[in-house]
Amino acid sequence: MLKASYKTILKIIFAVAILYWLAKSDKLDLSLIGQVLKNGPWALIAFSLLILGSFLAAFRWSMLLKTKSEKIHINKIYPINLIGQFFSTFLPGVVTGDFLKLLYVRDCDPLLRKSFLLSTALIDRIIGLIGLIIVAGLSSIYFYGDLVNLSPKVKPLISFNIMLLLGASVFLIILFMPKAIKKHVIELLKILPVIGNKLSDITETFWRIGENRRVIIKTITLSILIHMIAITAFWSLSHSFLNTNIGIKQLFSIVPIGLISIAVPVSPAGAGVGHLVFEELFKAFGQEKGASFFNLYFLVNITVNLLGVIPYVLWKKKHTFKEVEALEEA
C-alpha cells in the first residue's frame, strides 16, 4: 500500500509539473472553460454523450461476463463499472479500480474464478483499444486526401494509424486461431517457471471467450460506437475554437491517437500527458490550443467518473483496500 501511495504521489507531481509548464508557456488556455459554459448546451451535450459511452462500456463488459454466468445483469455491472472508474481516476495506484470492481462482480456470482474475471477485464480493455484503432485507421484511410492537404506533417501520423489497424487485424486473426494451435501454445506457456500456470490459465480463458465470435464482433462494434461518441463529445466542446479547415472528420483521426497515448496510466486520468500529446497532435494539423481542447474533454470526463462515488456510497457491501491487495497478490 505504501509503495502504491508513493507511485500515486509521483504520478500527481509529474502531471502537475506538465500542466504548470503548459500554463506558463501559454499553451493551456483556461479561459476556454468559461467560454464553453457560455456557449449554450455544448458542455451538457458532451457530458451526456460521455455518460452514454460509460453505460455502453459497462454493457460491453457485461457481454463478456455473461459468457460464463447468467447472473450478470447490466443494472449491477453499470454501477460497478462506475465505481471502478471513480477509483482509477481519483485514487490511481492506491487501489486499482479494475481489481476493486472484480470483487463487486464476484458478489454477483461467487462461482466466477479470478482467472476468468481478470481475463474479461483484460479482454475488455483490449477490445476497447481495438475499437479505437479501427476508428483511427479507417478514418485515416477514408479521409487521407483531406488530412494530407491540411499539412504534410500529418503523413507519419496517418501511417501510424494504418499500421496500428494492421496490427489489430493480426491480433484478431490470432484470437480466432484453430484449437490445435492454441493447445500447443498453452502447453508451451505452462513450461515457463513461476508464471507459467497463471499465464496459461488466463490465456486459455482469453481464447475460450474468443471462441464466441458473435460476442467478440458485437463488443468490437460497441467499442467503435463508444469511441465515435467520445470523439463527438470532444468536437462538441472544441468546435467553436477550431480552425475552419478542421472539422469532426479530422478529429476522427486526431483524437484516437491522443486517447491511445493516455491508455497507459502514467498520470491520473491522463492529466498532463494527455494535454501535452494533444498540444503536439493539433499543432501537426496547424491548430493551436490542442492542450486547451483536451483540458475541456478531460474535465467533463472526470466529472462523469466522479459519479462513481454515488453507487459506492449506496452499495450495501463495501470491499476494503486490503481485499483488493489480497486479490492482486493471489
Tens of pLDDT along 190-206? 887 767 777 777 777 77
- Give residue 26's pLDDT: 61
User: Is 242 in contact with 282 (CB distance < 8 Å)?
Assistant: no
- Give residue 233's pLDDT: 96
- Give residue 94's pLDDT: 47
Alpha helices in the chain (DSSP H): 2-24, 31-38, 42-65, 74-90, 97-108, 114-142, 144-150, 155-175, 179-191, 196-210, 213-238, 248-261, 273-284, 290-306, 309-314, 321-329
- Give residue 44's pLDDT: 93
User: Is 106 in contact with 324 (CB distance < 8 Å)?
Assistant: no
Residue ranges in the chain modelled with pLDDT below 70: 1-12, 14-16, 18-27, 91-96, 194, 264-270, 325-330
User: Is 6 in contact with 330 (CB distance < 8 Å)?
Assistant: no
- Give residue 19's pLDDT: 67
User: Is 43 in contact with 36 (CB distance < 8 Å)?
Assistant: yes
Tens of pLDDT along 300-323? 998 999 899 999 888 888 877 777
Cα 18 to chain centroid distance, Å, stands at 21
